[in-house]
Structures are given as structure tokens and as C-alpha cells.
Structure 1
């Protein structure tokens, strides 16, 4: 029986349109903060927890913006658009930098599979996107 892992991420958007991002400590890539959903945790609560743990920023979840599957690794990621409530940016054991990026910087600094998640969350479309990728590139819809 195939097993899947579920992760959550928060695309935290300030009033000026900048987006919270971390540079991961393990591989140096820029991504929205997120991680594995705990077994006894609601997805929205997991996103709030992961953002706080990785950045020091407490958030409020606005809405689900996308469901993304890494077909190679069997990871399903739920991405939520969030707004900052309070806190001060700080790194953690999982991040070497925490920055507020412009959408242009998101496209420049993040790999394709993460930049698209952020851009989907910034879009005015209220329907969550459903996409699949191989770990590096998006796959065509079935």
C-alpha cells in the first residue's frame, strides 16, 4: 500500500505585498515556511505552528491556496495564504535567513516548485490550485 506524507506551508503576505520566506539550513534553498503536519493536528494549525517555529512570526490563516504533490517522493503539500499578526523575524535550527521578498524576488530566488506555490497564493483567484511535480518541474495536468 503506498504511503504519503502531508506537509503544510504558510505564504505570509504583508500589507505591502511582500512575502515571508526562509533560506533552509539543510539545502540552502528559499521557500515559504512549512513542514510536516503532525498526526493529531489540523492543517491550518500546522501551518501556523510551522511559520512560528521557523520564523518567529505568528500568523492568521486566510485560506487554502493550493494542493501540490511531489510525485517522486509522495509528499502532498497544503499551502495556505496567511497574514502576519505579531512577532519578530528570527532564524531557527531549520533556517539560516528569514526575509520579506517581493514577488519578483520570489521568482528570482526560489526554485520553480516553490515560487509557483507563492504566486498561486498571491493570485486573486479564490479557487485552490491542484498541481503535481517531480521535485523540480511541474507536470502537465492529466
Structure 2
């Protein structure tokens, strides 16, 4: 994944120490009820679209920008699906991050899904009964996006 310039600037002085960062994830659905996924360059896995908000950027604005940047799909945010602190991640270069993720259900309103940057190998729409292998947390996000339940959040110290 591309590292934003503001994170590079922080890393210049912080080194590899753990950074606590905001993150956004989109469960983008089309009119046929399919979900938009991208196969990532960094690990080859299919995943939901997501990224890091720029300083001062609202999370809902950020998620719409990330979807457009990565997939060329225009979307609108419908609701917040969940808010969750994810377990820490250590990247191959030694950088450590922990994300506070806000996941949104989004509706596609335009554009043709395609690889639109250097973060994805493939981009595509998938019927819910024919999803490629996804991580449990991503499957949970999709499940929650399809419900009419209120925003999900953890009330324990446990991490998903």
C-alpha cells in the first residue's frame, strides 16, 4: 500500500515505533447487491477498499476518495457500519501501526470498476454467494453492512 506523505514525514523522526492511525474501510454495494473488492499488490489477497484519511479530512470524505482512487468507482456513503481498533500490524520494513477503523456502507453511483492506482492487481464486483477468500474481519464488515442494525462497536478490550 502506498504510504501517505504525512506518514513518511512522521516516520522520518519516529522510526519504526508504533503509530496509532485512523483508517477507513468501504463496503461498496451496487444495484445488483454485489460487493466491490480489490486484490492487493502488497499481499495478493482480495479485500475491501480502504485507506488512511489525510490530516483534517473527514472519514466519510476519505472513504469516497479511497474508493475512487483505487477502483474508479464513484460512491456515496449510506451509513457507518462499525468502529473498531484493530490489532497492531508490523510491515515488512519494520514499521508498526495500529488503526482505529471506521467502516462505511457505500452505494456505487457511477464509474466502471478497474485498477486505478498502483495498490491493486485486480478490481471486481462479487456476488455475496461467490466471494473470494477474505479475512474474518472483512466478512464481518460485509455481514454488518447488510443488516439494519445500529453501528457495531466493541464494548470489551478484546480485539477482532
Q: In which range does the TM-score fall when normalised by the shorter chain?
A: 0.7 to 0.9
Equivalent of 1:98 in 110, 120, 123: 123
Aligned residues: 131
Pair 1:43 & 2:59 matched: yes
Distance 2:63 2:47 in 1: 14
SS of alignment partner, residue 5 of structure 1: strand
Deviations 1:58-83 (A, max 9, x none): 11111101112213242111111111
**What is residue 148 of structure 2 aligned with on the other side?**
124
Equivalent of 1:22 in 38, 48, 71: 38
Distance 1:90 1:101 in 2: 13
Give 1:129-140 correspondences, 5 Å limit: 129-131=152-154, 133=159, 138=160
TM-score (norm 1): 0.85
Is contact 2:78–2:106 with CA below 8 Å preserved after alignment? Answer: yes
Moved more, 64-73 or 13-22: 64-73
Is contact 1:103–1:119 with CA below 8 Å preserved after alignment? Answer: no
Q: Shift of the alpha carbon at 1:101?
A: 1.3
SS of alignment partner, residue 109 of structure 1: coil
Q: Tell me which structure has the larger Cα radius of gyration.
A: 2
Equivalent of 1:85 in 86, 94, 109: 109
Deviations 1:22-50 (A, max 9, x none): 11111111111110111120010000000
Aligned-residue RMSD, C-alpha:
1.6
Deviations 1:78-135 (A, max 9, x none): 11111111111111200111111122333x521112111122111222x1111463xx
Runs of 4+ more than 4 Å apart: none
Structure 2: stretches of 5+ with no match in the other structure: 1-17, 90-97
- CA 1:105/1:76 → structure 2, altered by over 3 Å: closer, same or farther? farther
TM-score (norm 2): 0.76
